[in-house]
Structure formats: C-alpha cells, structure tokens
Amino acid sequence: MNIGEAASESGLSAKMIRYYERIDLIPASRRTQAGYRVYRENDVQVLRFIHHARDLGFSIEQVRTLLELWRDRNRPDGEVQGIARTYIDVLNARIAALLAMHDALSYLAEHCDDSEQPPGPFLDDLPPLPA
C-alpha cells in the first residue's frame, strides 16, 4: 500500500510516517521504481503500535526501546523483564494520576452549582501527570 493508505490504516499522518522514517524510528520503506513508498501490513501494525504508544504518552525514545525489544529476539529475558517492569511502573503512575483527576473533576461536576462561586482549592491538590 502507499503512504496515504498506510497513514489511513495506522491513524498517523503521512507527514508523521515520513518523520518516523527520517529519525530511524521505523526502517525506510521500500520504494517503487518511481520512488513512491510502499508499505506492507506488518509495517502498518508497527505504525499502529507507535500511534497507540505515543497516544499513551510514551516518548519517542521509549517507543524506540519498545520496538527494539520486539525486534531483538536474542535479548536476555532478564533485560526484557526489567524494561517491561519499568514501563509498567510508569503506566501505573499515570493511571493513578488520571484516576485522581477523574475523581476531582467528578467531585466538581457533582458539587458545583450555578452560582458565580469559583471552584474550591481542591484543584490545586491534583497531582501532575507523570511523564
């Protein structure tokens, strides 16, 4: 498929796909004799993974590490487990922060009225979302 179809299938823009190729996050695509990029279904699966990981807040370098783990079948299991546990910890911290935000916003929605009273200071107590 061409880059437009790969973009549509993966949820990424063609511009982002070209950017990911330029920074070597994904390998350069195969090209037709006319120079057009050609993608296979496996390429689109990788692009979908990248899209979802970025939506979840993973950095480019974290995504790069995850892709390297997937590609390197000879990496020691202990190393893979260590990296996976680190990312699980990051996800758990984000989940906790998102739940705190959810609870605070739910409280605000349930307890505010139509008066011109500003929200209480409880919003100041919200934890920042972890990176």
Residues 12 and 52 reside in one and the same domain? yes
CATH of the domain at 11: 1.10.1660.10
In a domain, 81, yes or no: yes
Residues 47 and 10 reside in one and the same domain: yes
Express each pLDDT in 32-88 by its tens digit.
999 999 999 999 999 999 999 899 888 999 899 889 888 888 888 888 788 889 889
Contact 19, 43 (CB under 8 A): no
Same domain, 15 and 53: yes
**Residue 99 domain boundaries:** 77-125
Q: Tens digits of per-residue pLDDT, 105-131?
A: 887 777 776 666 555 555 566 666 665
- Claim to verify: residue 51 and residue 81 sit in the same structural domain: no
The answer to whether residues 7 and 53 belong to one domain is yes
Tell me whether residue 68 is in a domain: no
Q: What is the count of structural domains for the chain?
A: 2
Which residue did the predictor score with more confidence, 25 or 119? Answer: 25
